[in-house]
Amino acid sequence: MPARRLLSPRAPRRVATVSVHTSPLDQPGAGDAGGMNVYIVEVSRRLAARGIAVDVFTRATSSDLPPVVEMTPGVTVRHVSAGPFEGLGKEELPAQLCAFTAGVLREEAQHEPGHYDVVHSHYWLSGQVGWLARDRWSVPLIHTAHTLAKVKNAALADGDRPEPRARVIGEEQVVAEADRLVANTEEEARQLVDHYGADPRRTLVVPPGVDLDRFRPGDRAAARRALGVPADAVVLTFVGRIQPLKAPDLLLEAAARMLEDDPALRDRLQVHVVGAPSGSGLEAPRRLEELAVRLGIADRVRFLPPQAPDRLALHYRAADVAVVPSHNESFGLVALEAQACGTPVVAAEVGGLITAVDDGVSGVLVGSRDPAAYAAAIRAVLARRALLAAGARRHASAFSWERTADALVAAYAAAAAEMAAGAAPARRERALGALWPVAGTQVAW
């Protein structure tokens, strides 16, 4: 039998993006909104700029939300009714996936066949929906996990709840069914292969980007004046959701250790925590403030709500050091944003942060959970700040959303061509089979 000829890849005309549990319209840094929201917003904008229409399907969380919102020309957010509007936690959403999927399929059914060329799902809940849409529409499914239950459970913070078995099974199903798996880093690609049996031939490494126009170096003194920060302050900044996984408590403990070692620093030190309680952090929303009191540094810590992007850039510029002490990160966009503003980073040596931070060049990676180790790393960065600030901007400049979008369009087109030619790789059985070696994993750029 002659070999099938692959069709020449063609860029899609319209992409169905699925983000069940959080909307790209939500403010990152609170609730379930974080780096994934930024990713979807930035990629969708770049796709639209290339003439590719994007429909983002997300669950309606309020009866006041309009069914359809134009986020930007070419990008439409569609609010799908599935379950109660308010008060439904992420852990309760699996029960609403049938209703959500029905809403997505109903929208496509109003158009001529072939309305969407590809489905791109984000997070495992969306992957379950995307898998069914793919089968109904006969278009490829591209999936980005963003976080993985098995990896998260292996690096839990003390007292944090493990991800449930249902999520693990759901992720295994999506990994088995997706036409392409998009990993943020080579480490994540290895995790998909080693822990989930992903096929390396369908696993791509596509690093996220950063908006280098918005997040750029600026006048630090002017940024401090705008934020009411003294010119001579030593500012340590945490940005993100306040929950055990992100470990902002480690920054507070490190700051307390710095004051123990150098009491003269007390009048100048400021710790800025930018974000809101989220996830299991909602169970004790004042825990971090209470910790600051117990450590005797409450007067040195400023708790600030999540910030709009332009305001957030001011916070990065005003900081001496950005600190990202997470137990795990699939990438760590906060670290990249800070570096793009010329602010060096002290970060945990875990997950995607190993890629997001160039150790010794744009900041320092810490392989310990000991507050003393973080205090030492922060002091080391402060001593070399000017040199590391220049390295931070150089490192961040290697990442851009344009490159991310280009790699995704290529992945969409290749997967569609394979499907059209009947040449998509054979899927493994849903029961776990043999694991593939990671050596075959593709790196998109």
At 328-342, the pLDDT tens digits run 998 999 999 999 999
For residue 352, pLDDT over 80 is answered with yes
According to CATH, the topology of domain 14-209+402-421 is Rossmann fold (3.40.50)
Model confidence at 3, in pLDDT bands (50, 70, 90)? very low
In the CATH scheme, what architecture does the domain 220-398 have?
A: 3-Layer(aba) Sandwich (3.40)
Confidence bin at 427 (pLDDT 50/70/90): very low
pLDDT at 157 over 80: no
Quote the CA–CA distance of 264 and 252 in Å, as a whole number: 18
Max mean pLDDT among 8-22, 100-114, 153-167 falls in: 100-114
Q: Annotated binding residues for 1D-myo-inositol 3-phosphate, as ranges?
A: 21, 32-37, 90, 123, 147, 167
Residue stretches of the annotated binding site for UDP-N-acetyl-alpha-D-glucosamine: 27-28, 35, 241, 246, 307, 329, 337
Q: Residues 208, 211, 217, CA angle at the centre, nearest 5°?
A: 125
The average pLDDT across 204-232 equals 96
Q: Whole-number mean pLDDT of the chain? A: 90
- Whether the pLDDT of residue 148 is over 80: the answer is yes
pLDDT at residue 36 greater than cutoff 60: yes
**Range of lowest pLDDT (54-63, 261-270, 282-291, 339-348):** 282-291
pLDDT at residue 32 tops 90: no
Q: How does pLDDT run across 48-94, given as a tens digit for each residue?
A: 999 999 999 999 988 888 999 999 999 999 999 998 887 777 788 89
**Integer distance in angstroms from the first to the last C-alpha of the chain?**
35
Tell me the two tokens of residue 242: 């306040």
- Burial label for 337, CB within 10 Å (0-12, 13-18, 19+), is buried
C-alpha 397/C-alpha 391 separation (Å) is 10
Q: Give the confidence band of 159 by pLDDT, cuts at 50, 70, 90.
A: confident
Dist. CA 175–CA 69, nearest whole Å: 31
Paired strand residues for 120: 17, 142
Residue 432: is its pLDDT beyond 50?
Answer: no
Q: Are 23 and 58 a contacting pair, CB within 8 Å?
A: yes
Average pLDDT on 141-155 reads: 94
Does 14-209+402-421 match 220-398 in CATH topology? yes
What pLDDT, in 10s, does the model give residues 4-17?
334 446 889 999 99
| Spatial separation of the C-alpha atoms in residues 220 and 228, rounded to whole Å | 12
Mean pLDDT of 151-177: 91
Per the CB < 8 A criterion, the answer to whether 77 and 61 are in contact is: no
Confidence grade of residue 284 (pLDDT, cut at 50, 70, 90):
low
Residue ranges at the known binding site for Mg(2+): 316-317, 319, 343
Q: Which one is predicted more confidently, 421 or 425? A: 421
Closest by Cα among 65, 67, 63, 66 to 83: 63
Is the predicted pLDDT of residue 437 greater than 80, yes or no? no
Known binding positions: 21, 27-28, 32-37, 90, 123, 147, 167, 241, 246, 307, 316-317, 319, 329, 337, 343
| Of 28-42, 201-215, 365-379, the least confident | 28-42
Structural domain boundaries in the chain: 14-209+402-421, 220-398
State the average pLDDT over residues 135-158. 92
Look at residue 431 in the predicted model and tell me its pLDDT: 31
Range in 81-90, 194-203, 306-315, 377-386 with the lowest mean pLDDT? 81-90
